Amino acid sequence: MTRKFPRFLLATVFVISVTALAQTASAGPALPAAPSAAGSTPDTTVGGTGSKIGTINIEQAIFASNEGQRDFEVLSKKLEPKQTELKSMNDEVESLKKQLSAQGDKLNDDSRGTLVKQVEDKQKKLERSVQDARDDAQAQQNEIAQRILQKMAPIIVKYAGDKGFGLIMDTSNPWPQGPVLWAGPSVDITKAIVDAYNAQSGVPAPTRPTTAKPAATGATKPAAPAGATKPATTTPPPK
């Protein structure tokens, strides 16, 4: 079965723009508060006098980190049985639809009505199951993202302060959904942050490339997913 991987939705995690993450950052970072429910953001209040502006793709940084690749791959494997179950349900619905299409005009009213109701009931059950599975998958991937973000935030703040940045803007969402219309690769610090996070976490690089984001479990697609994306290679930040 081919898995479908939608664009990872971190709206509940990144409630505030990361522009506030490293603004006025030159002193050492304050440790974030203990992880809380998805939707909270780490405490990264610091003081500083940096003047440069930089960008970071937080979503990409989380996925590109060794810990993120490991944990999202584990989650994808965990969700596979549910995907198989939903595919089986979907196949059953499609089979009944084909049967109705092929035999509908040959059945008497009672038999046809029974078959129609069977299709409708199973379709509704499938849709409910798909939505429940998507909600569960979303909650689990948000939990992973929030946990990594809590540990990554002080690294971003320290890096920004050390390199003289006064403002770091998140480019996870392209303009106009996101705040950045255009930024050159020379101001992007994503790769530097991923490297620093990997060094601090001690999590080894995956033994094979991870090309898929966590699955939105479901045999049918309530929303049209985008294709999986690999973390883009970014230009090293300015010294």
Distance CA 101, CA 104 (A): 6
Distance CA 14, CA 56 (A): 13
pLDDT tens-digit map of 106-139: 888 888 889 999 999 999 999 999 999 999 999 9
pLDDT given for residue 1 in this prediction: 36
- Res. 157 pLDDT band, cuts 50 70 90: very high
State pTM to two decimals.
0.65
Read out DSSP for 18-83?
A: GGGTSTT--SPPPPPPPP-SBTB-----------EEEEE-HHHHHHHSHHHHHHHHHHHHHHHHHH
Axis-axis angle for helices 109-162, 66-103 (nearest 10) = 160
pLDDT given for residue 28 in this prediction: 35
For residues 215-228, give the mean pLDDT.
Answer: 37
Whether 159 has a pLDDT exceeding 70, the answer reads yes
pLDDT given for residue 109 in this prediction: 86
Tell me 175's DSSP state.
T
pLDDT given for residue 51 in this prediction: 83
| Measured CA angle at 26 (ends 24, 32), to 5 deg | 80
pLDDT given for residue 209 in this prediction: 55
pLDDT given for residue 58 in this prediction: 95
Helix or strand (DSSP H, E) at 135: helix 109-162
